[in-house]
Amino acid sequence: MNWTRIAALIVKELRAAFRDSKMRGVLIAPPLIQLLLFAFAATMEVTNAPIGVYNQDWGAASTELIARLQAASAFSEVRRYDSPAEVTSAIDSQQVMAVVAIDQEFSRKLADHQTPTVQVLLDGRKSNSAQILDQYVSAIVAQYAQDYAVGVAADAPSRIVDRAWYNPNREFQKSMIPSLLGTLTMATVMMIVGMSVARERELGTFEQLLVSPLQPIEIFIGKAVPGMIVGLGQGVAITLIVVYGFGIPLTGSPLALFVGLTVFLIAIISVALFISSLAASQQQAMMGIMVFMMPAMLLSGFTSPVQNMPDWLQPVAMVNPLTHFLVIVRGTFLRDMPFDLVAERLWPMAGIVLFTVAAATWLFRRRTQ
């Protein structure tokens, strides 16, 4: 293996990637825009949402319950409705996502130590947001019923106090934003590396590489290292923005995160080179990259836990390098994840590297025969 030839190929690839000002802009602007969009727009939290109240009771207890709903920070406004027709119209026109209907005997049943009825009508067209609102309303109603029972009973009932580990305030951004370290670097690196071999083949220069003194493994390394350099640089930049820009502390070891990022990038680069070696044109390479990236993001646990997926789909998620890297990212950011647990996520990515590198190298050798 001649490192001088490899270094020359690496320089050639870096020049090809950065000589065009538009290409440099593509490597910098889209990741920053996506980081901001995911941080502020693609959130699963529900804040400043108007809700409705259909109160048939008008007793002191229902009035106090409505006051608690108005004081909740999750609701921007509590709109009152006087009839079922108004409630139906409000939900149909999407004025509110939820309406709290208080039974006309709510206050009397509370005074008689009975269980009153509070109905929550939800807009099923926005199922996820409506469920979150339902949880907010249910928590407020349950807390009010408990406080009322403490006030009227001689002996206070048992009380459940919950604690959220690693994210005490349950801020969605603290789990979402660090995960972008994996998704954004994956998209950028796969585009750079995945298009390289296809571009060479489309321009007619790939055959020149094959008849040059470069060995297939040297071509592989020369194509992979530029993507690694870009990926590590982007990963460090995103980490600094997350820590200092969004104020999310890195509670774990930076070394463990860097090692995980390195192994993850090697796995993604090997997959990209495998796709690129199969494609005959840049268009085919682009399609192959998109076919891989979309399922990879959906199966990674980025938006929903892998444990919530069907049993037959969970093994498929385990052969996805992004699945393992997101565990490392969230573990090092949200809790001080020990290195032995990080290592448990490194070896599956290393297995993916061995398989895809062997397949891509075999394809390169096949081209030379």
Is 183 in contact with 253 (CB distance < 8 Å)? no
pLDDT means per 10 residues in the chain (369 residues)?
78 74 71 80 72 89 90 86 92 91 87 83 84 86 78 48 72 84 91 79 69 73 86 92 91 93 93 84 86 90 84 90 94 89 92 85 65
DSSP output for 302-337: SSS-GGGS-TTTHHHHHT-HHHHHHHHHHHHHHS--
The pLDDT assigned to 157 comes to: 46
Tokens of 183: 């998704």
238: closest CA among 293, 189, 307? 189
Pinpoint the residues of the chain covered by CATH 3.40.1710.10.
49-152
Q: Which residue has the tokens 């920070």?
A: 73
Residue 229 C-beta-side C-alpha neighbours within 13 Å: 13
259 with 346: CB under 8 angstroms?
A: yes
Closest to 273 (Cα-Cα) out of 350, 213, 195: 195
Give the model's pLDDT for residue 238: 93
**How far, in Å, CA of 36 to CA of 30, rounded?**
10
Question: What does the alpha-carbon distance between residue 208 and residue 369 come to, in Å, rounded to a whole number?
Answer: 14
- Rounded to two decimals, the pTM is 0.78
pLDDT of residue 101: 92
| Whole-Å CA distances, 295 to 104, 274, 291, 292, 321 | 50, 17, 7, 6, 12
Longest C-alpha distance within the chain, in Å? Answer: 91
The tokens for 244 are 């200092």
Residues 190-201 as b or e (16 or more Cβ within 10 Å = b) = bbbbbbbbbbbb
Enter the tokens of residue 104.
């006309």
Report pLDDT for 161: 61
**Distance between CA atoms of residues 271 and 244, nearest Å:** 32
Is domain 49-152 classified as CATH 3.40.1710.10?
yes
d(CA 205, CA 244): 44
Q: Go through 31-58 and write b for each residue having 16 or more CB atoms within 10 A of its CB, e for each that does not.
A: beebbeebbeeeeeebeebebbbbbebe
Structure tokens at 207: 């055959």
